[in-house]
Amino acid sequence: MGLGTEASSVAETALLANPLREGTRVRKTPAPCSIVIFGASGDLTERKLIPALYYLAREHLLPVSFTVTGCAKSPYTTETFREKARQAVQSHLKIPASEAPFLESFAQSLFYISDDFGDVKAYSLLDSMLDRFDRERGTGGNRLFYLATPPSFFPVIVQHLGRAGLAKTRDPEKNWTRIIIEKPFGRDHASAQELNRTVTSVFDEEQVFRIDHYLGKETVQNLLVFRFANGIYEPIWNRRYIDQVQIAVAESLGVENRGAYYEEAGLLRDMIQNHVLQLLSLVAMEPPARFAGTAVRDEKAKVLRAIRPIPPDAVNDLAVRGQYGEGFAGGKKVSAYRSEPKVSPSSVTETYAALKLFIDNWRWADVPFYLRSGKRLAKRVSEITVQFRSVPHLMFRDAIEDIIEPNVMSLRIQPNEGIAVRFGAKLPGPAMRIRPVQMEFRYGESFGAPPPTAYETLLLDCMLGDNTLFNRDDAVELAWELVMPILDRWKNDGERDLAFYEAGSWGPAEADRLLQRDGRRWQRL
Amino acid sequence: MLAPLQPVLESPREVDVEELEAELSALWRSAAEGASGQRVVTRACALTLLVSVESEDAAWEVSNLIGDVTRQNPCRAIIMASEPLARPGGINAWISTHCHLPVEGEKQVCSEQVAVVARGDSVRALPNVVLPLVIPGLPIYLWWRAPRFEPEPCYEDILRVTDRVLIDSGRFPHPALDLPRLTERAREAGIRMGFSDLNWVRMTPWRELIAQCFDPSELRPYLARVKKVTVEYEKTSPRRSAQEAQAWLLAAWLGSRMNWDPAEPATEASDASRTWIFNSTDGRVEVRLVPREFVGGGEGMCFNITLEAAGDPPARFSLKRGPEGICVTTQCAVEGREPVSRNVRLEVLEEIEVVNDELKYLGRNRVFEQTLAMLGRMAGL
């Protein structure tokens, strides 16, 4: 659940006024609402949204009268949609037979409209259906639209919602209307700006929830707690004590069956522009005044604004791209990217990228931020490592044989989420010998309960009106602005400077050289 | 050989009471020495858990549950068994570790357990043995696993350093007598420490579902116009006293949240049902607790709860336990409208799951304290 508690609407405030909810430890439940999913017959709905909604309903985190309306062209009936939902829950959550009554009860909250939502006429039926739910099911005039369609449909659905009057909140004193837009939000700076213009011409920015599921991960949220709920880190969280920051998001999988998408996107668009820059902004931002949507998002945007732009002629000095060739994954031989289904045999799409960035502000001046992400790397791991400066003077002359490693703090996002600190310790014995040791905290060891999935967290946050973990228009555009010179340069360069790496390795040697030039190296993950 | 995934209790080893601290240090030293082999051990501790039981047998019974606590709440667990009537007097102590493997192939995580059994006059020395063993700087929880919360005077020193006490009114033999007594205890203790009732916590899903009935803004006004509350609870199962206590707590919770004022002492009918009359801002409210049989109740808690509210049109809100007691059907019925019903899962939590959950809270639970205060008024205290 998001950390923000900004009162987003009168509806939530009124909910809090229920005296039976006061101080009951009872988890927050959103106000009654209708959820409308566009792209309801698609993969995302089946794999993520329906299981997440079922989980929330089963755990009674949804209001009594919640209603889900699936919208898509596929010629389903409401009963077909319900059956698909039952199957999706069974297959993705593997629920026991004893849950049949909840699943059935959940299914009865689902409805379906088969129509062409590229045509404005379809929206009048949707409008009347939502009205009927308000009257008959008590959904209270609250609406959540979820765009789970391919991105090309986003503008037209948004415009039609506007024309049909569905984007307007009926009575702002009592109701809310919100829209969740899936990533990718644009495919470059211009298209992101254009989409933002379209969306904000119909919805107010506070109604818009741009989802990046990475931000819903428990450990990503914990970054905020780690930094701002503990007093000991803030004094050393700056250029005076920190030598460098590395952010790695490594995947062991290849592009699987997403070759066609990946050919269009590439790693920089798929990972760096959103997930990795989001992590960077959380690590580097100033303390927000409050843990609330606006305050947190303001500070994140400030970081993105302060990142030194990469001039086109410096791209090759500050960025490395790579593409995986043949190799091994999980002990099995795997094919090169160019041999993946729906990938061009002469593709120059990057499956690996490494960047060196600087944040030009007082806190971070001259501290390099090294980012790397790739597919088919040695293992799946996401980690932020903060390396502190070495001691200014080494008084242990006898320990000169030992390598005195600088202190490193590792924030592991996945898997084995946790935090580790490396420091030097004396080896037992008469001689002064120093060895690096690690002090570790792991979530799995300290908190046994499995965290909710990112979609459960984010869906609930949106219904509660908490936008802390969602992207704002300016942040999306700033992130695109930052990567555009790199994308443009790589596009122009074609295959020149595209480094190839063996699948199952840690990426191309060129990425190592990016750090070696600075006398540094990638942290072992 | 891979270590097991389930918590493992290493065999308790009896140690000299005076050497307890030294023995605990030695325990971890030997684990670290073992680390040069294949098995690597991490020591984890986030709190001190004191467990008070009334006999040595009860100590070993709870010892088997501690492994499930340490998996979620790594801690130093100190089980204190006091047998004041046992002869001869004396104190014995055992130490052991609970280990589990969070991820296969990773390090084992171990927590330590101390069991202290005091007999006869030596019961008075229990705090002297236990207090040096609490982990400095970490929260201290006292799990009172005895039928009543009536600590011996010697426990005063332990209660003074305790952050939160966990009791279970589900173990009270006579809820109608014992709950009001607990009210007084909590009033005395609540000033300096938190107070939890596991039996109250088990009711959280029910309270959550009742609250949800009144979330829609158009239904919220009915809450102030509730005229009749009926709580039916299971009368035949071994859990009867636990359920009776829960029914009392539920009625007191509603009364305290709604600022109802008990107008008359309870009346008890021949079917053992109890009825209270409260004054509310909207007139009189009748609250009835009715014991009855639930056929096929399963392992879950068995309640039927109905709230009837006046209005134009009037409305009725009900929660009924479903098949096998693992499901609740909620219904909001406003006269003249189609009722809105749904089935939701009823979490039936084992004792240890409730304890684990409670160990995540440290502060005082004001709502529970206010509920107990209302319960005291309902009992005429």
Q: Write out the H or E segment, with its range, that includes residue A154.
A: helix A154-163
DSSP letter for each residue of A261-273:
HHHHH-HIIIIII
Please, which residues 300-329 of chain B have a Cβ atom closer than 8 Å to chain A?
322-324, 326-327
Answer for the pair B116, B53: CB distance below 8 angstroms, yes or no: no
Contact A22 B205 (CB under 8 A): no
Residue % of chain A over a pLDDT of 90: 60
The answer, yes or no, to whether residue B266 has pLDDT greater than 50, is yes
Query: Residue B224: how many CB atoms within 10 A of its CB?
Result: 16
Give the mean pLDDT of A101-128.
Answer: 91
Least confident span in B121-125, B163-167, B178-182: B178-182
Residues of A in contact with B361 (CB under 8 A): 25
Residue B380 tokens, joined = 């005429």
Query: Residue A341: how many CB atoms within 10 A of its CB?
Result: 11
Asked if the C-beta of A96 comes within 8 angstroms of chain B's C-beta atoms, the answer is no
The answer, yes or no, to whether residue B281 has pLDDT greater than 60, is yes
pLDDT attached to residue A276? 96
Contact B342 A105 (CB under 8 A): yes
CA–CA distance, B178 with A489 (Å, rounded to integer): 78
Give the mean pLDDT of B51-63.
Answer: 92
* Residue B325: band (very low, low, confident or very high) from pLDDT cuts 50, 70, 90: low
Asked if the C-beta of B102 comes within 8 angstroms of chain A's C-beta atoms, the answer is yes
Give the mean pLDDT of B282-294.
Answer: 91
pLDDT attached to residue B4? 36
Q: Write out the H or E segment, with its range, that includes residue B143.
A: strand B140-144
DSSP letter for each residue of B235-304:
SSSTTHHHHHHHHHHHHHHHHHHTT-EEEEEEEE-TTS-EEEEEEETTEEEEEEEEEE--TT-TTS--EE
**A156 vs B181, which has greater pLDDT?**
A156
DSSP letter for each residue of A305-365:
HHBPP--GGGHHHHEEEEEEEEEEETTEEE--GGGSTT--TT----SEEEEEEEB-STTTT
In chain B, what are the domains? Answer: 8-162 (no CATH), 202-349 (3.30.360)
Give the mean pLDDT of B42-68.
Answer: 88
Please state the separation of Cα A418 from the chain's center in Å.
18
Q: How many CB pairs under 8 A join A and B?
A: 124
Residue A52 tokens, joined = 């997440």
Please name the residue of chain B whose CA is at the shortest distance from the CA of residue A30: B215
Q: Which of A160, A189, A213, A275 is catalytic?
A: A275
CA–CA distance, B66 with B73 (Å, rounded to integer): 10
CA distance A23 to chain B (A): 6
**A80 vs A95, which has greater pLDDT?**
A80
Give the mean pLDDT of B308-336.
Answer: 86
CA distance B262 to chain A (A): 18
A336, with CB counted inside 10 A (0-12, 13-18, 19+), is buried
Q: Is B202 helix (H, G, I), strand (E, B) or coil?
A: helix
Residue % of chain A over a pLDDT of 70: 93
pLDDT attached to residue B40? 55
User: Is A275 an active-site residue?
Assistant: yes
- CA–CA distances in Å: residue B243 to residues A494, B234, B349: 73, 7, 14
Contact B345 A444 (CB under 8 A): no
Give the mean pLDDT of A136-158.
Answer: 91
Residue A2 tokens, joined = 């998001």
Q: Is A122 helix (H, G, I), strand (E, B) or coil?
A: helix
Residue % of chain B over a pLDDT of 70: 86
Asked if the C-beta of B338 comes within 8 angstroms of chain A's C-beta atoms, the answer is yes
B246, with CB counted inside 10 A (0-12, 13-18, 19+), is buried
- State pLDDT tens for residues A291-329: 888 899 999 999 999 999 999 999 999 999 999 999 888
Contact B257 A65 (CB under 8 A): no
Contact A105 B344 (CB under 8 A): yes
Least confident span in A347-351, A518-522, B9-13: B9-13
Give the mean pLDDT of B40-66.
Answer: 86
- CA–CA distances in Å: residue B168 to residues A107, A296, A383, B178, B242: 37, 42, 43, 11, 9
A518, with CB counted inside 10 A (0-12, 13-18, 19+), is exposed
Fold type of domain A32-210:
Rossmann fold (3.40.50)
Least confident span in A38-47, B35-44, B63-72: B35-44
The closest of B326, B203, B204, B213 to A63, measured between CA atoms, is: B213
CA distance A449 to chain B (A): 7
Least confident span in A208-222, A460-474, B32-46: B32-46
Give the mean pLDDT of A509-514.
Answer: 94
Asked if the C-beta of B48 comes within 8 angstroms of chain A's C-beta atoms, the answer is no
The answer, yes or no, to whether residue A11 has pLDDT greater than 60, is no
CA–CA distance, B182 with B188 (Å, rounded to integer): 10
Domain boundaries, chain A: 32-210, 216-516
Please, which residues 440-469 of chain A have a Cβ atom closer than 8 Å to chain B?
440, 442, 444-449
Give the mean pLDDT of B232-244.
Answer: 81
Residue B369 tokens, joined = 């304290």
The answer, yes or no, to whether residue B201 has pLDDT greater than 70, is yes
Q: Which residues pair with A147 in a beta bridge?
A: A38, A181
Contact A19 B257 (CB under 8 A): yes
* Beta carbons within 8 Å of A168's beta carbon, 6+ residues apart: A177
CA distance B84 to chain A (A): 37
pLDDT attached to residue B337? 84
By Cβ distance, the residue of B209, B218, B324 closest to A60 is B209
* Residue B260: band (very low, low, confident or very high) from pLDDT cuts 50, 70, 90: very high
Answer for the pair B47, B73: CB distance below 8 angstroms, yes or no: yes
Contact A105 B343 (CB under 8 A): yes
By Cβ distance, the residue of A22, A29, A442 closest to B212 is A29
Answer for the pair A323, A498: CB distance below 8 angstroms, yes or no: yes
- State pLDDT tens for residues B340-373: 888 887 777 788 889 988 888 887 788 888 898 8
Least confident span in A47-61, A265-279, A491-505, B230-244: B230-244
Q: Write out the H or E segment, with its range, that includes residue B213.
A: helix B204-213
Residue A145 sits at φ, ψ, to 5 deg, of: -100, 130
Q: Is B81 helix (H, G, I), strand (E, B) or coil?
A: strand
Please name the residue of chain A whose CA is at the shortest distance from the CA of residue B356: A448
CA–CA distance, A383 with A282 (Å, rounded to integer): 13
The closest of A320, A343, A350, A372 to A260, measured between CA atoms, is: A343
Highest average pLDDT, of A212-226, A252-266, A421-435, comes from A252-266
Answer for the pair B100, B6: CB distance below 8 angstroms, yes or no: yes
Give the mean pLDDT of B57-82.
Answer: 89
Mean predicted lDDT score pLDDT of chain B = 83
Q: ipTM of the assembly?
A: 0.78
CB burial readout B168-182, b (16+ within 10 A) else e: bbbbbeebbebbbbb
pLDDT attached to residue B41? 65
A350, with CB counted inside 10 A (0-12, 13-18, 19+), is buried
The answer, yes or no, to whether residue A16 has pLDDT greater than 60, is no
pLDDT attached to residue A449? 57
User: What is the sign of the dihedral through the CA atoms of B46, B47, B48 and B52?
Assistant: negative
* Residue A446: band (very low, low, confident or very high) from pLDDT cuts 50, 70, 90: low
The closest of B230, B243, B236 to B290, measured between CA atoms, is: B230
**B22 vs A345, which has greater pLDDT?**
A345
Contact B219 A138 (CB under 8 A): yes
pLDDT attached to residue A37? 97
pLDDT attached to residue B98? 81
The architecture (CATH level 2) of A216-516 comes to: 2-Layer Sandwich (3.30)
Give the mean pLDDT of A343-357.
Answer: 97
Contact B212 A60 (CB under 8 A): yes
* Residue B81: band (very low, low, confident or very high) from pLDDT cuts 50, 70, 90: very high
Mean predicted lDDT score pLDDT of chain A = 88
pLDDT attached to residue B1? 31
Highest average pLDDT, of A367-376, A384-393, B75-84, comes from A367-376
Query: Residue A225: how many CB atoms within 10 A of its CB?
Result: 12
